[in-house]
Amino acid sequence: NAGVTQTPKFQVLKTGQSMTLQCAQDMNHEYMSWYRQDPGMGLRLIHYSVGAGITDQGEVPNGYNVSRSTTEDFPLRLLSAAPSQTSVYFCASSYSRRPLFHYGYTFGSGTRLTVV
Amino acid sequence: KQEVTQIPAALSVPEGENLVLNCSFTDSAIYNLQWFRQDPGKGLTSLLLIQSSQREQTSGRLNASLDKSSGRSTLYIAASQPGDSATYLCAADSGSARQLTFGSGTQLTVLP
């Protein structure tokens, strides 16, 4: 089924460890983004990409790194995990050019990360 | 900076009632507005998308309206069912980063 696939679904890290959250889409969407969802804070944009080789920061980028080497994949790296990064992470994708981006966003099922 | 507010934060209704969820946004320069449903511990499921040039969209028992000039959108759910129980989120697509700005959601409980 076409869509956004995130792995892993659950992860527990120790403070200071690094890891990569994977995100892949098969809809040929140019635009991909990462959000984190925290109780009382809603969903906030971490990083986004408008196409292969192009990335930019969102609202809460500190502690995270991204790259976009292909249209399909947009991994999110935690460089040195901190308890404040305990959250649910969602990857989303969309077309980036008018009028196609009027189709809206497709979200993955999320990665629930706990940092102890 | 875009800000999105959803009212009410929680709503409990008996099965069969028609109900309205409200969403307001501060910057009317949006590309589109999207309504999502989120079940506990799950991801976001897109319900309806309203483009900036549209006034409303319908899907089954759901109808969403958009009034850009007043910065408001409503989600109307007809003949509610217990299976409609979930958190409903609205999100405004705006800005040079095409950032989705989310409201904090309305937690809906439909009682059998």
pLDDT tens digits for range B53-88: 899 999 999 999 999 999 999 999 999 999 999 999
Question: Do the Cβ atoms of B100 and A43 come within 8 Å?
Answer: yes
Contact criterion met (CB below 8 Å) for B91 and B4: yes
CA distances from A90 to A23, A73, A107, B14, B28 (A): 9, 14, 7, 32, 26
Q: What is the signed CA dihedral for A51, A56, A59, A61, rounded to 10 degrees?
A: 110
Check whether A98 has a pLDDT greater than 90: no
Contact criterion met (CB below 8 Å) for B111 and B44: no
Q: How many Å apart are CA B50 and CA B1, to the nearest integer? A: 21
Place of tokens 């189709």: A103
Chain B environment of A90 (Cβ under 8 Å): 43-44
Q: Is B99 in the A-facing interface, judged by CB distances under 8 Å? A: yes
Chains A, B: CB contacts within 8 A come to 57
Question: Do the Cβ atoms of B34 and A56 come within 8 Å?
Answer: no
pLDDT at B98: 74
| B5 to chain A: closest CA residue | A42
pLDDT at A35: 97
pLDDT band at A40 (very low <50, low <70, confident <90, very high): confident
pLDDT band at A104 (very low <50, low <70, confident <90, very high): confident
Tokens of B53: 């040039």
The set of residues, in sequence order, having a beta carbon less than 8 Å from that of A41 and lying 6+ positions away, is none
Q: How many Å apart are CA A22 and CA A78, to the nearest integer? A: 11
pLDDT at A102: 65
pLDDT band at A95 (very low <50, low <70, confident <90, very high): confident
Q: How many Å apart are CA B17 and CA A83, to the nearest integer? A: 43
Q: How many Å apart are CA B105 and CA B7, to the nearest integer? A: 8
Q: How many Å apart are CA A21 and CA B36, to the nearest integer? A: 23
**How many CB atoms neighbour CB B75 within 10 A?**
22
Question: Do the Cβ atoms of B46 and A108 come within 8 Å?
Answer: no
Chain B environment of A43 (Cβ under 8 Å): 89, 91, 100, 102
pLDDT band at B6 (very low <50, low <70, confident <90, very high): very high
Q: Is B42 in the A-facing interface, judged by CB distances under 8 Å? A: yes
Model confidence pLDDT, tens digit, residues B7-57: 999 999 999 999 999 999 999 999 899 999 999 988 999 999 998 889 999
Closest CB to A109: pick one of B42, B104, B105.
B42
pLDDT at A101: 62
Shortest CA distance to A21 belongs to which of A72, A94, A73? Answer: A73
Best mutation site among B2, B44, B59, B101 for testing chain A: the one with the most A CBs within 10 Å?
B44
Tokens of A5: 């696939």
What average pLDDT does this structure show over A8-25? Answer: 97
